[in-house]
């Protein structure tokens, strides 16, 4: 795994968490999971999902045993807080995993295929630059086509109610991302215009092959 993609404090927190047996029901997702695979940018937050219901109050107590923690939200199957200066979250997430986990210090990491599906889902609602850059990095580094990416999305979210046309439009809709101020620390040079053109071209190819 590419530890250059996570901050020193995030790395330390992962090592602390790895010693906790209760973490075994959770898996790491989001930008930090992507950064551990590819090291393309520095990521800080720790976001964990599980397909099992859990007691958020117990999570809070367990975190306090191994570090300094403040809670923002403690609710049914939901915990958001700050753990040793790093934002951390735990969520119940019922959508199935479509491929095997990777492993980092005994911590489960969502697969690249699952991360692709979740990044596409994220683009439907918020469309941040980091989500576009993460998705671009996974697709180019793993040599996945947009057809494969959409297959991952449809496989993971087959029980969801979604509109494929809207999904495709969101992959090439950049207005929200460009209007929202965002600070990214890139380990590898990534040109935003190149990212945009990549998705525009991918959408054109997809539509020619699948919608004509």
Name the pairing type of β-strands 86-92 and 102-104: unpaired
Q: Rounded to whole angstroms, how far apart are CA atoms 188 and 98?
A: 29
The mean of the pLDDT values for the chain is 94
pLDDT over 70, % of the chain = 99
Confidence of residue 55 (pLDDT cuts 50, 70, 90): very high
Least confident window among 74-83, 167-176, 178-187: 178-187
- Closest of 151, 147, 129 to residue 195, by C-alpha: 129
Beta bridge partners of 88: 46, 81
Name the pairing type of β-strands 107-109 and 27-29: parallel
State the virtual CA torsion across 75, 127, 120, 112 in degrees, nearest 10. Answer: -80
Q: Is the pLDDT of residue 50 over 70?
A: yes
CB atoms < 10 A from the CB of 79, how many?
A: 24
Q: Please state the φ and ψ torsions of residue 171, each to the nearest 5 degrees.
A: -70, -20
Topology of domain 3-110 in CATH is Nuclear Transport Factor 2; Chain: A, (3.10.450)
Residues in the chain: 212
Least confident window among 46-55, 103-112, 183-192: 183-192
Confidence of residue 211 (pLDDT cuts 50, 70, 90): low
101/182: higher pLDDT: 101
85 Rama sector, left if φ>0, alpha if ψ -120 to 50, beta otherwise: left
Q: Rounded to whole angstroms, how far apart are CA atoms 45 and 58?
A: 20
As a whole number, mean pLDDT of residues 111-133 equals 95
Q: Rounded to whole angstroms, how far apart are CA atoms 121 and 205?
A: 20
Q: Is the pLDDT of residue 212 over 90?
A: no
Tens of pLDDT along 68-101? 999 999 999 999 999 999 999 999 999 999 999 9
Radius of gyration in angstroms for the set of CA atoms belonging to the chain, rounded to a whole number = 17
Q: Is the pLDDT of residue 45 over 80?
A: yes
Q: Rounded to whole angstroms, how far apart are CA atoms 39 and 161?
A: 33
Confidence of residue 60 (pLDDT cuts 50, 70, 90): very high
Q: Terminus-to-terminus CA distance in the chain, angstroms? A: 40
209/74: higher pLDDT: 74
CB atoms < 10 A from the CB of 140, how many?
A: 15
Both tokens of 16, joined, read: 């602390």
Q: Is the pLDDT of residue 130 over 90?
A: yes
């Amino acid at each position: 795994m590419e530890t250059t993609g996570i901050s020193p404090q995030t790395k330390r927190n992962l090592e602390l968490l790895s010693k906790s047996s209760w973490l075994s029901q959770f898996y790491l997702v989001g930008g930090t999971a992507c950064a551990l695979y590819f090291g393309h940018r520095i990521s800080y937050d720790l976001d964990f999902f599980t397909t099992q219901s859990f007691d958020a109050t117990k999570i809070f107590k367990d975190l306090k045993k191994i570090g300094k923690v403040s809670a923002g939200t403690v609710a049914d199957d939901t915990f958001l807080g700050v753990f040793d200066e790093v934002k951390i979250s735990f969520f119940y997430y019922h959508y199935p995993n479509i491929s095997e986990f990777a492993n980092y210090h005994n911590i489960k990491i969502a697969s690249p295929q699952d991360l692709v599906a979740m990044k596409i889902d994220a683009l439907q609602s918020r469309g941040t630059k980091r989500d576009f850059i993460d998705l671009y990095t996974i697709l180019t580094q793993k040599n996945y086509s947009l057809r494969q990416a959409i297959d991952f999305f449809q496989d993971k979210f087959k029980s969801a109610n979604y509109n494929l046309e809207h999904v495709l439009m969101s992959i090439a809709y950049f207005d929200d991302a460009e209007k929202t101020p965002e600070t990214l620390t890139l380990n590898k040079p990534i040109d935003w215009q190149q990212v945009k053109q990549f998705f525009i071209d991918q959408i054109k190819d997809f539509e020619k092959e699948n919608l004509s």
